[in-house]
Chain A
Amino acid sequence: MRATVLAALAIAAVVPLVTAGLGGGEFYLGFATRIVIFAIAATSLNLILGYGGLVSLGHAAFFGLAAYGVGILAAHGVDTAAIQWPVALAACAVFAAVTGLVVLRTSGIYFIMITLAFAQMLYFLFVSLRQYGGDDGLTIATRSRLGPIDLGEPVVLYYLSVLCLVGSLWFCHRLVASRFGMVIRGARTNTRRMAALGFPVFRYQLVAFVLAGVMCGVAGILQANLTQFVSPSYMAWARSGELIVMVVLGGMGTLFGPVLGAAALLILEEVLADWTVHWMLYLGPIIVLIVLFAKRGLIGLFDRRSPPPAGGHHG
């Protein structure tokens, strides 16, 4: 474990050197930053989906909501991160808490469809907010001001994103190992048993849902600073679907799976789109094949000790 972590950190640390060597200017570094950002989002989804068994098809809502938090405050001249970021994350927490109160009362298929519907609701709300660009999106004139740290410097933004990813992974690792994490994981396979053991499962799940939403918000904040732009398409339902693909592709319920999955999916999309306009024609069946034949995800190729995912039944 320790060796893997060190190796991963080493790779992440030298990425700017490698990308500089590739000669594509900031493109490859920007692409790497995008991978890291989506890795954070996928990790946050993994918290509830991989460990908690809660299949949310609306997770991208938090991503977009936080990005809008940055964008809207910037549009009103508030560009200091000390205000922007807490407000954006608080918005995610509130949205997660309010929707969580409704969605967590349900399970299985209901849960999937309701998370989707709530995300759609938020999507339509931002599409019709004309003050903030509506469907056209909102250009963010200045990146968040973070003391002496200049986020306009691509290398800085990259390392900050990596730092956030490491923090998210560490948090996930500690959380899952804790008593709290045990209840969440236990509820995945048998909610009733956990309830019978005297755990307030609903409250635990709600907290996990909010934590995942806030963590996804961190990714949204970074994305807003990377692209200096935010639009409702950040929270379109297909984005939520892609997040799920990342988690499963990499290996759900494993710490590093979502990171691998995010990298693999984004690189695959990039390569396919470079090759053909009809890239979705190939991506679709690839996803189908992954589901059918590679249930343990990419992480299974690297780490033979990681346990096979439990065939939990949530009907």
Chain B
Amino acid sequence: MKRILGLVAATAMAAFAVPAEAQQQLKVGFVATFSGPGGALGRDLYDGFMLGIEQSGGRLGGLTTEVIREDDQLRPDVGLQVTQKLLQRDRVDIITGVVFSNIMMAIYQPIIESQTFVISANAGPSEIAGARCSPFFFSTSWQNDQPHEAMGAHLQRRGVGAAYIMAPNYQAGRDALTGFKRQFKGRILDEVYTTVNQPDYSAELTALRAARPPATYVFYPGGMGVNFVRQYAQAGLTRRVPLYSAFTVDATTVDAQGEAALGTFGTAFWTYDLATGTNELFVRSFLQKHNRMPSTYAAQAYDSARLLHAALTVSNLGNKDALRDALRKADFPSVRGPFRFNNNHFPIQNFYLYETVRDAQGRFVQANRGVVLENHRDAYASQCAMRW
């Protein structure tokens, strides 16, 4: 017992001995999935964010910047634990990153309650865009439904009369098809939900073929997308039924999909060939540094860093209201071109159609095929009570 009490006394004294935090330092907590199957996305977010810091002279808003990286392991309870560590032990000023919506939903409440700003570089669940929006949450990506709405609008405009739509049987999958149907008014031949992480789609593809649809729309992120797109092509369907998707064919999956991805279409807020000056610099430096094409994930996180840099340059960490005002102005050159925040702190932005093609150097890339939705707002903003 004596020894334990001694330990308590020693640690208590150590706690008092910690000097008051220097004001010129910025501590950023970066929570993302780095291990396991989702690890590639966390890596892209992190690389994009760090590049954004680098191009801000290594100091966001002129402050010495320290990034503390934490792996949520794609487990909500672990995500919560590392977030509490960042908030309470490391006392970070900002939390960013977050690949998956389920992790965001698990860590959102404690972050907001601690009045810490969180800049989501990817996850954009509908609840946070709507009823549970917060003055401490900002997104530099999109609300989950938006890219799917864009594709729905595109097919609607093209006059496609009917579509066969598929997604994994989880919330993001349901949101995806809901978003698609919000804009697409043609006939839905079938709406198929497959088991999450199902590796083989032969049964579903056989049924799809029998339905003879004029178009297919799917949402299969990550490894599921690799499986689906390849099997779609192997079944000879790509030539017969055009494949439209979102987050299914992108820079993180296309090398594993290979030629099967050629000629498929997707929608996103950004493509590598957007001719904004910032974007050209971003793509060039990313390629140079990491020797691979940047993905949408890297672009979003790059913008997170640039947004912070711009906001912190004209405000300071001590005054949260001033910092919020500065963030709301979004006075930074986004890689996607026009960017401003809606009342729920999600971006109002364009969505583009892209086609997967082989470029002059033989790489598989997503080539921009024009704007589908201009200055698009998400569908949940009206449910958010925040006004400014």
Which A residues fall within an 8 A CB radius of B? 10-11, 14, 17-18, 20-28, 30-31, 34, 124, 127-128, 130, 133-137, 139, 223, 227-229, 231, 233-234, 273, 277-280
Contact = CB atoms under 8 A, between A and B. Distances in A.
Contacts of B1: 10
22 contacts: A11-B4, A18-B8, A24-B85, A27-B88, A34-B77, A127-B170, A128-B169, A128-B193, A130-B170, A133-B105, A135-B170, A135-B171, A136-B101, A136-B125, A136-B171, A136-B172, A139-B105, A139-B108, A139-B127, A227-B80, A273-B71, A273-B73
Given A18-B7, A27-B85, A233-B74, 6 more contacts: A10-B1, A14-B8, A30-B84, A130-B174, A223-B77, A277-B71
Contacts of A136: 101-102, 105, 125, 170-172
A106 B86 CA distance: 47
A223 B106 CA distance: 13
A41 B74 CA distance: 21
A133 B171 contact: yes
B363 interface: no
B2 to A, nearest CB: 11
Interface in B173-232: 174, 193, 195-196
A14 B2 CA distance: 12
Interface string B53-93: 00000000000000000010111110011001101110000
B353 to A, nearest CB: 28
Interface string B309-327: 0000000000000000000
Given A21-B12, A21-B14, A24-B88, A277 B34 contact: yes
B53 to A, nearest CB: 19
B20 interface: no
A14 B12 CA distance: 13
A227 B127 CA distance: 18
Contacts of B85: 24, 27, 31
A17 B8 contact: yes
- Which of B14, B174, B196 has the largest count of A CB atoms less than 10 A from its CB? B196
Nearest to A133: B171
B110 to A, nearest CB: 8
Contacts of B196: 127, 135
A206 B147 CA distance: 51
Contacts of B15: 21-23
Nearest to B4: A14
Given A24-B88, A25-B87, A233 B75 contact: yes
B349 to A, nearest CB: 24
A278 to B, nearest CB: 7
B148 to A, nearest CB: 16
Contacts of A30: 81, 84
Contacts of A10: 1, 4
Nearest to B69: A277
The secondary-structure label for the interface of chain B is helix
A148 B196 CA distance: 42
A279 B89 contact: no
Interface of B: 1, 4-5, 7-8, 11-12, 14-15, 18, 34-35, 39, 71, 73-77, 80-81, 84-85, 87-89, 101-102, 105-106, 108-109, 125, 127, 168-172, 174, 193, 195-196
| 10 smallest beta-carbon distances between A and B, as pairs | A25-B88, A24-B89, A135-B170, A21-B11, A23-B15, A136-B171, A21-B12, A27-B88, A136-B102, A229-B106
Nearest to A14: B4
Contact of A279 (B35, B75, B105, B170): B35
A252 to B, nearest CB: 25
Contacts of B74: 233
Nearest to B88: A25
Contact of B170 (A18, A25, A134, A228): A134
Contacts of A25: 84, 87-89
A18 B9 CA distance: 9
Given A127-B169, A135-B170, A136-B172, A227 B8 contact: no
A175 B288 CA distance: 66
A26 B80 CA distance: 12
B102 A135 contact: yes
Nearest to B169: A128
Contacts of B39: 277
B130 to A, nearest CB: 14
A18 B7 CA distance: 8
A267 to B, nearest CB: 12
A287 B142 CA distance: 42
A229 B11 contact: no
A194 B18 CA distance: 63
Contacts of A27: 81, 84-85, 87-89
B35 A137 contact: no
Contacts of A23: 11, 14-15, 18, 89
Contacts of B102: 133, 135-137, 231
A31 B171 contact: no
Given A25-B88, A27-B85, A134-B170, A278 B35 contact: yes
Given A23-B15, A127-B196, A229-B76, A139 B170 contact: no
Contacts of A18: 4, 7-8, 11
Contact of A26 (B18, B88, B125, B174): B88
Nearest to B11: A21
B81 A22 contact: no
Contacts of B8: 14, 17-18, 21
